[in-house]
């Protein structure tokens, strides 16, 4: 499991990094440039027409590395890939409309919500029948209420990951750390399986479970590797943006890791900066509607810091460090409770 996971990380990194010199010129020729919001930070105006939809590099890298190294058991890995690809498709449509219409708005809000609702409902029902209604390492059984719970996790996560994609390298950096932690979490879980003293059907079940876990660990490390490889081209100053294609596929990947490992209760801690972005938007909108006053200079939160004078690189570093500390704490909690 460990060797295949590390190989997946390396291959995904290589694929994403090497695709840059191929994909970026193609995006330039197709005039797939970023449309910057007029009401956004003025420093972002210089990013107008920077190639977008670079998330295709992440998607190709994750799929390639996962299919190569999750060969022992694809039962969970394929579900994770399905999450990633289908939510990436929503992002692709959003980006494509923005590019064709030459505007900063792609799909309407209601169109995104309907698409996310349909996908999350389908995934939640499928996972309920495949994995049962249990969370937290099978210790808490939600029964049929697992379906709305899983839908909430998916929709909240996808939109939160999308919100954090607002600065050069921010989403890639945070998600790479989150994915690494998720992979390590799976490996820790695998270590808790009995290594000896079992035989017969119990031994077969243990082997099957370990193989399935190996697949999701490979997927998590592949996602981390793809993000690292994309950072080669996306770190400040970015040569390419991931676009909603990349943000939505990463949101699907993050939610898949949480649900397939039954550790979704750790997601708010490991993904604390995703949560901070979403909460800042909710508070900002609520405050303005109720009091006609803003809490932050601008939401999501990273724009508040940016308008306060913090350089993009410093904000990205801060978000990444906080995610790493929170993820380390989550791993400790998991190890103590497993």
pLDDT in tens, 175-197: 999 999 999 999 888 777 554 34
Which pLDDT belongs to residue 47?
Answer: 67
Note the pTM of the prediction, 2 decimals. 0.91
Handedness of CA 87, 14, 224, 132 (dihedral sign): positive
How far apart CA 210 and CA 217 sit, in angstroms, is: 10
Which pLDDT belongs to residue 166?
Answer: 87
pLDDT in tens, 265-276: 999 999 999 999
Q: Indicate the DSSP class of residue 139.
A: T
Residue-wise DSSP of 282-313:
HHHHHHHHHHS--SSSSSSHHHHHHHTT--HH
Which pLDDT belongs to residue 137?
Answer: 65
C-alpha 280, offset from chain centre? 19
Beta carbons within 8 Å of 225's beta carbon, 6+ residues apart: 8, 9, 10, 11, 12, 13, 16, 61, 65
What parts of the chain have a pLDDT lower than 50?
195-207
How far apart CA 132 and CA 216 sit, in angstroms, is: 18
Which pLDDT belongs to residue 108?
Answer: 86
Q: C-alpha angle 180/223/301, rounded to 5°? A: 75
Q: Where are the domains of the chain?
A: 2-264
Which pLDDT belongs to residue 42?
Answer: 57
Which pLDDT belongs to residue 199?
Answer: 38
Instruction: Determine how many CB atoms are found less than 10 A away from the CB of residue 177.
Output: 25
Contact 150, 123 (CB under 8 A): yes
How far apart CA 248 and CA 239 sit, in angstroms, is: 20
Helix, coil or strand: residue 86 = helix
Contact 271, 254 (CB under 8 A): yes
Helix, coil or strand: residue 107 = coil
């Amino acid at each position: 499991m460990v060797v295949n996971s590390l190989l997946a990380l390396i291959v995904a990194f290589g694929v994403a990094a090497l695709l840059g010199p191929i994909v970026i010129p193609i995006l330039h020729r197709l005039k797939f440039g970023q449309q910057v919001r007029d009401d956004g930070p003025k420093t972002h105006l210089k990013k107008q027409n920077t190639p977008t939809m670079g998330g295709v590099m992440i998607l190709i890298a994750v799929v390639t590395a996962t299919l190569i190294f999750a060969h022992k058991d694809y039962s969970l890995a394929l579900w994770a890939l399905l999450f990633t690809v289908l939510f990436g498709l929503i992002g692709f449509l959003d980006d494509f409309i923005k590019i064709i219409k030459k505007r900063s708005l792609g799909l309407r809000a209601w169109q995104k919500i309907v698409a996310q609702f349909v996908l999350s409902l389908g995934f939640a029902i499928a996972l309920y029948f495949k994995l049962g209604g249990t969370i937290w390492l099978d210790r808490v059984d939600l029964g049929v209420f697992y379906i709305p719970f899983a839908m909430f996790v998916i929709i909240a996560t996808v939109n939160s990951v999308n919100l954090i994609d607002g600065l050069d390298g921010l989403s890639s950096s945070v998600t790479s750390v989150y994915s690494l932690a998720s992979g390590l979490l799976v490996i820790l879980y695998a270590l808790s399986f009995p290594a000896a003293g079992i035989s017969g059907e119990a031994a077969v079940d243990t082997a099957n479970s370990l193989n399935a876990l190996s697949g999701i660990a490979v997927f998590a490390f592949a996602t981390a590797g793809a993000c690292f490889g994309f950072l080669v081209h996306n770190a400040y100053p970015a040569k390419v943006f991931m676009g909603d294609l990349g943000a939505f596929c990463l949101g699907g990947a993050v939610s898949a890791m949480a649900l397939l490992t039954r550790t979704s209760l750790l997601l708010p801690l490991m993904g604390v900066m995703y949560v901070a972005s979403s909460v800042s938007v909710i508070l900002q909108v609520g405050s303005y509607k109720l009091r006609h006053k803003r809490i932050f200079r601008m939401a999501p939160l990273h724009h508040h810091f940016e308008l306060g004078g913090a350089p993009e690189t410093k904000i990205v570093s801060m978000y990444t460090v906080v995610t790493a500390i929170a993820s380390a704490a989550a791993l400790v909690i998991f190890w103590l409770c497993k």
